[in-house]
């Protein structure tokens, strides 16, 4: 068994790992991905649940945090070097973050395509002469999978007595893309003036959405090279760390306090480099023009 000194060292190392890990997760998780939904809390609650409102994604985020703490504590216990524990703990959530570069944009593109398809279905249903609320409710069953939850929630809000404008603004805020803003703006204007050309406008927006999807996919293909560089650097880093953990002679120079400072500086510089390369391969979030719904003007 571990004696008291070793036990205190392990607990202290785990506490250091937890502190740095939470700081890194807080920095990484402050930006919402394109097309993503906002988190459901702030502070420690947001830190524990992550940026997603999806329960399954929250559970995966929590499992990743626990795995990072365990891996960091084990690395510190095996090597006796606190900085190694910190780097391993950061690598557990950091590696998926680096390897997943581009997935958020691909998901956003898929959601834009889904918005265009939903807009075309709205056009077809509106041609039957139904009101806007019944038209939206009529598209719930056939809504594309990528936005089905948001469409279902929009219909539920309308049925619950929300003002049409507030419900539509909440829907646009959840999608979080200017293409969806265009469709929602057309629907809000229809609620205001009851124009007869809603179908033509929705058809034009659907065509614009298809053109936007084609443009973004072309741009996405050009970002392949820098994203490959991110994955390659990440893989080399993991291989180097694994070799160092298995080879005591390799990490023995870092056993002194000064060596730990050098390791921390090198690790921080390399993590910063990877984050910088990743950021270069990420697109800027497109600017939206619709505001968030006013909580005081929700119910009719």
| pLDDT-based confidence at residue 54 (cuts at 50, 70, 90) | low
Q: Work out the average pLDDT over 49-53.
A: 66
Please check whether residue 33 is in contact with residue 108, taking contact to mean a CB–CB distance below 8 angstroms.
yes
Q: What integer pLDDT is reported at residue 214 of this predicted model?
A: 92
Q: How far is it, in rounded angstroms, from Cα 132 to Cα 187? A: 8
Encode pLDDT of 197-213 as tens digits.
777 888 888 898 899 89
Q: What integer pLDDT is reported at residue 42 of this predicted model?
A: 52
> For the chain, which residues make up each domain, given as ranges?
4-102+224-280, 109-221
Q: Which of 48-52, 162-166, 251-255, 274-278 has the lowest mean pLDDT?
A: 48-52
The SS3 assignment for 274 reads: helix
Encode pLDDT of 210-235 as tens digits.
998 998 888 888 877 777 777 787 78
Q: What integer pLDDT is reported at residue 114 of this predicted model?
A: 93
Rank 96-110, 147-161, 275-289 by mean pLDDT and report only the highest.
147-161
53 φ/ψ angles, rounded to the nearest 5 degrees: -95, -5
Q: Residue 171 pLDDT > 50, yes or no?
A: yes
Question: In the predicted model, what is the mean pLDDT of the chain?
Answer: 77
Q: Residue 176 pLDDT > 80, yes or no?
A: yes
Q: Work out the average pLDDT over 42-58.
A: 67
Please check whether residue 262 is in contact with residue 123, taking contact to mean a CB–CB distance below 8 angstroms.
no
Q: What integer pLDDT is reported at residue 119 of this predicted model?
A: 92
Q: How far is it, in rounded angstroms, from Cα 203 to Cα 194? A: 17
Q: How far is it, in rounded angstroms, from Cα 248 to Cα 244? A: 7
| pLDDT-based confidence at residue 195 (cuts at 50, 70, 90) | low
Encode pLDDT of 112-136 as tens digits.
999 999 999 888 887 777 777 888 8
| pLDDT-based confidence at residue 291 (cuts at 50, 70, 90) | confident
Q: How far is it, in rounded angstroms, from Cα 288 to Cα 184? A: 12
Q: How far is it, in rounded angstroms, from Cα 236 to Cα 252? A: 21
Q: What integer pLDDT is reported at residue 10 of this predicted model?
A: 45
Q: How far is it, in rounded angstroms, from Cα 149 to Cα 156? A: 10
What does DSSP assign to residue 46?
H
Q: Residue 21 pLDDT > 80, yes or no?
A: no
Q: What integer pLDDT is reported at residue 1 of this predicted model?
A: 40
Q: What integer pLDDT is reported at residue 156 of this predicted model?
A: 92
Q: What integer pLDDT is reported at residue 229 of this predicted model?
A: 74
Q: Residue 26 pLDDT > 60, yes or no?
A: no
Q: What integer pLDDT is reported at residue 153 of this predicted model?
A: 92
């Amino acid at each position: 068994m571990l004696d008291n000194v070793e036990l205190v060292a392990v607990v202290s190392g785990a506490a250091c790992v937890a502190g740095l890990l939470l700081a890194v997760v807080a920095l990484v998780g402050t930006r919402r991905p394109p097309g993503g939904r906002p988190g459901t809390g702030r502070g420690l609650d947001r830190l524990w649940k992550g940026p997603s409102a999806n329960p399954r994604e929250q559970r995966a985020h929590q499992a990743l945090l626990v795995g990072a703490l365990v891996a960091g504590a084990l690395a510190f216990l095996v090597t006796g070097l606190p900085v190694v524990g910190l780097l391993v703990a950061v690598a557990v959530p950091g590696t998926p973050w680096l390897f997943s570069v581009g997935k958020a944009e691909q998901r956003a593109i898929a959601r834009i395509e889904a918005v265009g398809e939903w807009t075309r279905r709205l056009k077809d249903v509106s041609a039957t002469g139904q009101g806007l609320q019944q038209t939206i409710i009529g598209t719930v069953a056939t809504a594309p999978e990528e936005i089905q939850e948001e469409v279902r929630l929009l219909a539920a809000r309308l049925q619950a007595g929300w003002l049409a404008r507030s419900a539509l603004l909440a829907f646009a805020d959840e999608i979080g893309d200017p293409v969806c803003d265009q469709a929602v703006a057309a629907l809000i204007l229809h609620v205001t003036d009851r124009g007869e050309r809603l179908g033509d406008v929705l058809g034009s927006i659907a065509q614009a959405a298809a053109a936007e999807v084609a443009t973004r996919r072309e741009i996405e293909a050009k970002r392949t090279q820098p994203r490959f560089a991110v994955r390659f650097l990440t893989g080399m880093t993991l291989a180097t760390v694994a070799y160092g953990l298995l080879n005591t002679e390799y990490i023995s120079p870092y056993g002194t306090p000064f060596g730990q400072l050098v390791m921390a500086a090198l690790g921080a510089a390399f993590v910063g480099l990877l984050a910088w390369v990743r950021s270069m391969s990420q697109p800027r979030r497109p600017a939206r023009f619709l505001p968030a719904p006013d909580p005081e003007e929700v119910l009719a």
